[in-house]
Amino acid sequence: MKTRNILIFPAGTEIGLEINEAIRQCKEVNVFGGGIGAIGNTPFAYANFYPLPAINESGWLDELSSLCIKLEIDYIFPAHDDVVVALAREQHHIPAVVLTASLETCVITRSKRLTYHALSQIVRVPKLFDSPPLSSDYPVFVKPDCSQGSQGASLVCMVDELNYATASIIDPLVCEYLPGEEYTVDCFSDRDQGVLFSGARIRQRVRNGISVSSVPIDLEGVNVIANKIHDALQMRGAWFFQVKRASDGELALLEVAPRIAGSMSAHRVAGVNFPLLSIFEHERASIRMLINTDQIELDRSLRNRFKHRIKFSTLYIDLDDTIIFREQVNVDAVNLIFQCVNQGVKIKLLTRHNGDLHKILDKHRLSGLFDEVIHIGSKGYKSEYIAEKDAIFVDDSFSERWEVHHKTGIRTFDCSMIELLIQAQPIILKEVNAK
């Protein structure tokens, strides 16, 4: 099976992080991230990250193309709306396939005005006021023609507020106000078979225009809308659209985007891996889906990622209240143990367990995890059993950690600190001149 080299650019957006999460553990691909230097969380999230200039900087196309050649990139996932258009426009100069719709479709969908014009005869779109609205038309909604994340959008309830709302916006749209619930519809299209998946989710909580709490629902009429948009714009691969209920209860289109959505994970975890399927669609592979129909609710919040230079050859770890906590296995501790297995680090259980140690290890399926089991009982110091100078010690007991550190000088950790040591993947920041 061919392994494809994938570049996500820019890698640090919510879109890029979702693409990475979707495919980083897929055997069919090798994932690379590209974006602005070491700013933000991006280098923490990718096993292989390469600095690249933004598309509004001079020389960006040459550097992107050089990196694609260097890494033998097969496909690029654009992970920002402006980048979608820029890469589609420069596709002929890029030595890798840009996974998005045609340039024409990308240009249309980047503009809400062009989108509404292209689709107004086939789906409900908001009424646009090209001349000042009448008093009876208020409230109205003002937003930029090209924007994302609700930037610059505002509700205008009075005539006197309109000039103020539009003054700071480049190419503002004055639209009919849609007062109802807002939905995102995640879609996947095959250019020959049409829409193979369309699933709606309600946007329960939104931050900076991004749905951070979302629940997939059955929404009548969205499949029809999806197929009409697909036919009109010749969508392919992953895409989505957003709709909102008008005052008459009808669903009206807000926008269409020919890319991955940041919260597509709500449907990905049910079985629709949008980025991977987009690769297969481009390769004209036969596509089948197996979708779980369980009720899912997505909530997104801050996630800690760490970068450190801690190197160790041996992990010494306690059992009671460390690996086993309240009679259950501490999965973070086991995660750390298996990370050590993958990295060739020795794992030594160092415990005072008061009881049949083999019985408790068998009970919790922990037998065989350790290179050495050191059962010292209640007497003696744990430091006496630690020989390696480059070891680390994990134990819930502060007094044990204090004694080990002061006798051996090694780093010690409690259970709340394991988070630092667990890395989903090694972090390699590439400071490379792509040229």
Tell me the per-residue pLDDT of 362-374, one tens digit each, with 9 for 90 and over.
999 999 999 999 9
Beta carbons of 88 and 102 less than 8 angstroms apart: yes
Q: How far apart are the first and last CA of the chain?
A: 31
- Domain count across the chain: 4
Query: Is residue 238 located within the same domain as residue 114?
Result: yes
Instruction: Indicate whether 296 belongs to any domain.
Output: no
Residue 342: give its domain's CATH number. 3.40.50.1000
Residue 265: give its domain's CATH number. 3.30.470.20
Position 70 pLDDT exceeds 80: yes
Residue 234: CB atoms within 10 Å: 14
Instruction: Indicate whether 431 belongs to any domain.
Output: no
| pLDDT, position 336 | 96
Query: Is residue 171 located within the same domain as residue 188?
Result: no
Instruction: Indicate whether 304 belongs to any domain.
Output: no
Instruction: Indicate whether 383 belongs to any domain.
Output: yes
Give CA–CA dist 418/71, Å, rounded: 34
Please provide residue 200's backbone torsions phi and psi, each rounded to the nearest 5 degrees.
Answer: -90, 150
Tell me the per-residue pLDDT of 311-321, one tens digit each, with 9 for 90 and over.
999 999 999 99
Instruction: Indicate whether 298 belongs to any domain.
Output: no
Percent of the chain whose predicted confidence (pLDDT) is above 70? 94
Query: Is residue 234 located within the same domain as residue 363?
Result: no
Torsion of CA 7, 13, 19, 25, to 10 degrees: 80
Query: Is residue 171 located within the same domain as residue 198?
Result: no
Query: Is residue 221 located within the same domain as residue 279?
Result: yes
Residue 371 CA from chain centroid, whole number:
36
**H or E element in which residue 119 lies:** helix 112-119
pTM, whole model, 2 decimals? 0.84
What's the domain range around 352?
314-421
Instruction: Indicate whether 272 belongs to any domain.
Output: yes
Query: Is residue 188 located within the same domain as residue 279?
Result: yes
Give the angle 127-132-136 at the CA atoms, nearest 5°: 70
Q: Which residue has the tokens 């960006």?
A: 60
Instruction: Indicate whether 426 belongs to any domain.
Output: no
Query: Is residue 271 located within the same domain as residue 336?
Result: no
CA contacts within 13 A on the Cβ side of 426: 9
Instruction: Indicate whether 77 belongs to any domain.
Output: yes
Beta carbons of 312 and 408 less than 8 angstroms apart: no
| pLDDT, position 434 | 41
Query: Is residue 112 located within the same domain as residue 253?
Result: yes
At 173, which amino acid appears? L
Tell me the per-residue pLDDT of 336-360, one tens digit each, with 9 for 90 and over.
999 999 999 999 999 999 999 999 9
Of the candidates 339, 352, 420, which has an alpha carbon nearest to the alpha carbon of residue 382?
352
Q: Given pLDDT bands bounded at 50, 70 and 90, which one contains residue 47?
A: confident
CA distances from 130 to 115, 133, 176, 217 (A): 16, 8, 11, 35
Give CA–CA dist 392/314, Å, rounded: 7
Q: Given pLDDT bands bounded at 50, 70 and 90, which one contains residue 148?
A: low
Query: Is residue 256 located within the same domain as residue 339?
Result: no
Beta bridge partners of 216: 201
**Ranges of H-type helices in 260-330:** 265-268, 274-282
Query: Is residue 71 located within the same domain as residue 142?
Result: no
Query: Is residue 344 located within the same domain as residue 405?
Result: yes
Residue 85: give its domain's CATH number. 3.40.50.20
Query: Is residue 114 located within the same domain as residue 248?
Result: yes
Structure tokens at 224: 């029809």
Q: Which residues contact 107 (CB under 8 A, 6 or more apart)?
A: 85, 88, 114
